[in-house]
Each structure stands twice: as C-alpha cells, then as structure tokens.
Amino acid sequence: MSKSKNKNYLHRAKGIVIKIVGLGGGGSSIVTEISRQLKEVNFLIADTDNVNLKRVATTNVEVFSFGEEETHGLGTGMNVVLAKNLANQEKDKIDNLFKSADLLVLISCLGGGVGSGALSVFAQAAEKSKALTLGILTLPFEFEGAKRRQIAQRAIKETEKFLDAHVIISNEKIFSVVSEQTSFTKSLSAINQDLVKNLKTLLETIRSPGLINIDFADFKTILKGKEKNIFFNTIIAEGDDRIKKIQEQIIHHPFLVNDLKGVKKVLFNIIGGPDLQMAEIEEISAKIKELNPLAKIIFGLSRKNNFNKKIEVFLMAMTEEKRKVKSEEKKPTKKNQKGKKEKKKIVSKKKEKIPSKEKEVKKIKVIRRSALDIKKMNKDTEFQKTNKEKKWDVPAFLRQK
C-alpha cells in the first residue's frame, strides 16, 4: 500500500463517528465514568431528572433533558409509560441527536422508568439514523424485586427489534466476582471498568491498522442485522502460561447473560509484542474455532512494541437470533395442543357410549318385580349353586371331558 493510500485509509478510519449514549440514572452514570477514559468518542446522557444530570455530567459529555414540564425536572418514579410518552414528545429532537453517527452504543440500566420506558424511542431514532446500533443493557439485582425484572424483560422485548445487536449484563453476577467487603460503589464500578476495557479494545481494533487488519466494514459484518445477541470479551495475559489463561477465560465472561451457544459469526483480534509466536496464534485461534467450526470467522492480528511477554485478545461473537429460537419452541406446543384436542374428542366419544350412573339408576328404578318373580329367581340361584357343588364332586379327568 502506498503512503498516500495509507494516509487516506487512516483518515477514513479515524473519521468514523462513534456516539455512546446513557439513558436514565444508571445509564448516565456508566457513560460518565466511561467518558473519563475513552478518547475520540462522542458521549451523551439523557434523563428527565435534572438533579442526576447535573451530578454526573462532565465537560466532554453532551446532556439531553426532556419532560421537564410534566416531571418538573424530577425522575419518572418507575413509571415506564410516562417515560415513553415524554420521550415520544421529543422525537424530532432525539432524531437530530443521532444524525451524524456511524456507530451508536445505547447503555441503559433496565428496571426503572427512563432506562426502560424511553429506551425503545431512542432505539427507533438510532435505527432511523442508519448507524450501526449496539445496545448494552443491564438487568436489575434480585433484591430489587420481581417488578423491576418484569419491566426489564419487557423493555428488552420491545427494543431488540430496533437494534442491530445487544449485550445483556447481569448486575447479580457481581456477587460472584467481588469480595463481600467491597463497597457497593466499587462493585458497580467493576462492571463499568469491564465495559471500558471492551469498548476501548473494540475502538482500537477498528481504528488502528494491524498486521492482519480488521476495519469498520468487518465490524459491520458481525453486527449488521436485527435482534442479534452479542458476546464480547477482552483478556490480557502474561507469563509462561499466558496462552492457557487466554484459552480458559476468553469464552467465559463474568457479567454477561449472553452465552456462546449457536454462534454464527466471530470476530477476534490478537495483539502481541515482538515475542508473539506463530504457535501461540494457532493455539488461541483453535480454541475460538471450537465455538463453531462452520461459523463465519474474521481474524485480526496487531503488534505493540510495549507488549513484552503480554498478549491481549478481543473476541466478539454473534449468537442465534432470539426470535428464531422462540418460533422453534412454539411449533411443538401447537402440535401438542392439537394432540390434546384430538384426545379430548376421543374421550368425549367414549363418554357418550358409556351410560352414566344416573341413567343406570333410572333403569333400575323402572324395573318392578312381583313376589312370584323374586321367588323364582331365588330358586334358580339355588339350583345353580347345587349344580356347581356337584360339578366339583366329579373327578378332574371327567370334568375336562
């Protein structure tokens, strides 16, 4: 590649506009923390709660406040319908927020009013912008109650159809990662720092040319579509057992709900120093290929001179679409329902043939016998008994005849 062409490529790569948007109290807190560590990215936080926006906003974060007339600058108090209506009233303004973006990342903590209710409105605006859209959505803690979890699940169902892909993070998994003595603030920050690590590696992968290059077009190949479940992870390992550490950890993320079943597309980038060996690249690649040998795989390789005895691997995998899985589950239930209906018909037919007890009782009541009939019946019964007794007096060999 000539120098002039190389300069043009770098200009195009750096010219990709990436916007990370935080919705509601939780989403805006996450985005504010991320904004302190990521460069060359546009940040936006949106909420009805002006107190929260003032608390978390920084100089490099754009603020979008809405619904002030109805909420008086306060939150929506878990009222999902109100939050959605307020966002719909500002649809044109929200559309304008996303016009120039190439990649939109929507971050929302689900279970509350704005985070769940306004999410679908912002996702629709993102879809209109023709940008590549990725949702990073967090589920509430178990101790926050079943109501919040129901709100969260409904929000995912309503929003996924507007997003190219989404990553679901479980707050509950924090308990298995941090110690009991860790403060609540630091525990939540652990998730934020993991997001920073993954987003930072993702942006570097897109923007920095590698020995085997991955660009934005490759990234679009993995994400473009609708309702995709995305698994992503970044692992850094060093020392003599660095390959073993990467193989063990790269396909196991501590916080993600999305698993790696039904992988269709995989993108991964290996970053190493001058000591990176071909055999190590092969071992890492073989482990990732095990996810699905038939999957579409995009592979990248980058070199950093300051990576002495250290390797970093970024993995992004697209798994089976949710809607397809659901439709497959519905098919057998319909058959079962038909089967049940047929069985019911058979049972009902049988019931028609068998007379009920009431009918039997009625029949018995209808039969009337005189004293002479009863006497005759008793005589017949006695005669049968006598004959039976005589029969058993006859030797066995004669009875058989």
H or E stretch including 318? strand 310-319
The residue type of 239 is G
Residue 303 has a pLDDT of 92
Contact 250, 235 (CB under 8 A): yes
Q: Give per-residue pLDDT as tens, 271-297.
A: 999 999 999 999 999 999 999 999 999
Residue 262 has a pLDDT of 85
Q: Give per-residue pLDDT as tens, 326-373.
A: 333 344 444 445 444 444 444 444 444 444 444 444 444 444 555 555
Give CATH for domain 1-209: 3.40.50.1440
Q: Which two tokens stand for residue 326?
A: 């659901």
Please report which residue ranges of 138-207 form alpha helices under DSSP H: 146-159, 184-207
Strand 132-139 and strand 265-272: pairing?
A: unpaired
- What is the pLDDT of the chain when averaged over all its residues? 82
- Low-confidence winner among 245-259, 273-287, 306-320, 380-394 (lowest mean pLDDT): 380-394
Residue 228 has a pLDDT of 84
The residue type of 47 is D
What CA–CA distance (Å, rounded) separates 215 from 367?
A: 95
Residue 35 has a pLDDT of 93
Residue 322 has a pLDDT of 52
Q: Give per-residue pLDDT as tens, 124-172.
A: 999 999 999 999 999 999 999 999 999 999 999 999 999 999 999 999 9
Q: What is the mean pLDDT of residues 235-253?
A: 94
Indicate the DSSP class of residue 296: E
Question: Angle 299-216-245 (CA atoms, 0-180°, nearest 5)?
Answer: 35
**Any residues with CB less than 8 A from the CB of 17 and at least 6 apart, and which?**
42, 100, 101, 102, 103
* Residue extents of the structural domains in the chain: 1-209, 369-401
Which DSSP string corresponds to 30-49? HHHHHHTT--S-EEEEEES-
H or E stretch including 228? strand 228-238
Percent of the chain with pLDDT over 90: 60
Residue 351 has a pLDDT of 45
Q: What is the mean pLDDT of residues 199-226?
A: 89
Residue 389 pLDDT more than 70? no
Residue 330 has a pLDDT of 41
Instruction: Choose between 379 and 42: higher pLDDT.
Output: 42
Residue closest to 270 by CA, chosen among 244, 309, 236:
236
Residue 61 pLDDT more than 90? yes
Contact 45, 57 (CB under 8 A): yes
Q: What is the mean pLDDT of residues 42-55?
A: 95
Residue closest to 118 by CA, chosen among 165, 48, 35:
48
Residue 41 pLDDT more than 90? yes
Residue 379 has a pLDDT of 55
